[in-house]
Amino acid sequence: MIFKILLFSLFLSFFAHAHEINMEDKNVEQIVKQRMSNMSKIKAYSQKMYPLTMSGEFEEIKQLNDELLHIAKEFILLFPDGSQGGKASSLIWEDRETFELFNNNFISSIEDIDESINDEDSVSLVENFNIMASNCGTCHKKFRN
């Protein structure tokens, strides 16, 4: 019986966390460190992409853009309650709705780049890259100290 209950609770906790990063074993300091690291990678990938946008090297851009998308999707999960710290403005926890909107706009702009890559359309690729890059300042102005 106890074994069954154990199995069942394991099963439940698997589903509860399947789509989240496992943050239970992480303290606030580690979470802050991870989101800073995600942002540093976002900067590195977007800087690598920029000179390639006009090169027609769609395969190489796609690889970088996929990484960018993955890391941006993870970034939004790194702000659980009580994880105030680093350069993250406390506004993030006071106005989650706007913070999530800014993150979602950023993610959509990366997905738009992906479409341009699939179409092998350099003109819309440059346009969408610039839109993606404009999200950095918009979010930092409001949500980064």
Q: Which of 28, 86, 98, 121 binds ligand HEC (CB under 6 A)?
A: 86
- CA–CA distance from 76 to each of 17, 23, 102 (Å)? 15, 13, 10
Shortest distance (Å) from residue 27 CB to ligand HEC:
14
Is 140 a binding residue for ligand HEC by CB under 6 A? The answer is: yes
Polymer length of the chain = 145
Give the span between the Cα atoms of 69 and 16, in whole angstroms: 23
Which among 10-18, 59-67, 121-129, 134-142 is the span making contact with ligand HEC, rule CB under 6 A?
134-142
Footprint of ligand HEC on 91-120 (CB under 6 A): 102-103, 106
C-beta of 64: minimal distance to ligand HEC in Å? 12
Of 115, 5, 101, the closest CA to residue 65 belongs to 115
C-alpha distances (whole Å) from 28 to each of 66, 106, 116 are 28, 25, 38
For ligand HEC, the closer of residues 36 and 124 by Cβ is: 36
Min dist CB 94 to ligand HEC, Å, is 13
Asked if 53 and 13 count as a contact pair (C-beta separation under 8 A), the reply is no
| Nearest by Cα to 58 from 118, 137, 138 | 118
Planar angle of CA 20, 25, 29, nearest 5 degrees: 95
133 binds ligand HEC (CB under 6 A): yes
The nearest distance, CB 4 to ligand HEC, in angstroms, is 42
88 contributes a contact to ligand HEC by CB under 6 A: yes
Residues that bind ligand HEC (CB under 6 A): 32, 35-36, 39-40, 42-43, 46, 86-88, 102-103, 106, 133, 135-136, 139-140, 143-144
